[in-house]
Amino acid sequence: MTAGDDEAATQRAADARLWALEMHEKAVFYQVGNLFLLAQSLLIVAFTSALTNAESTRAALMLHVIAVFGLVTSLAWAYMAHRQLKFNRRLQHRVRLRFPDYAETLDDVRSPGLRSKVMVVYLLPLVATSTWCVFLALA
Distance between CA atoms of residues 20 and 29, nearest Å: 14
The pTM of this model reads 0.81
Tell me phi and psi for residue 69, to 5 degrees: -65, -40
Q: What is the pLDDT of residues 60-72, one digit of tens each?
A: 889 999 999 999 9
- Mean pLDDT for the stretch of residues 102-121: 88
pLDDT at 51: 86
- Mean pLDDT for the stretch of residues 95-105: 93
Confidence band of 56 (pLDDT split at 50, 70, 90): confident
Which of 85, 73, 77, 90 lies closest to 114, judged by CA?
85
3-state SS, one letter per residue, for the chain: CCHHHHHHHHHHHHHHHHHHHHHHHHHHHHHHHHHHHHHHHHHHHHHHHHHHCCCCHHHHHHHHHHHHHHHHHHHHHHHHHHHHHHHHHHHHHHHHHHCHHHHHHHHHHCCCCCCHHHHHHHHHHHHHHHHHHHHHHHC
pLDDT at 42: 97
Q: At residue 57, does pLDDT exceed 80?
A: no
Q: What is the pLDDT of residues 70-85, one digit of tens each?
A: 999 999 999 999 999 9
Q: At residue 4, does pLDDT exceed 90?
A: no
Distance between CA atoms of residues 40 and 129, nearest Å: 10
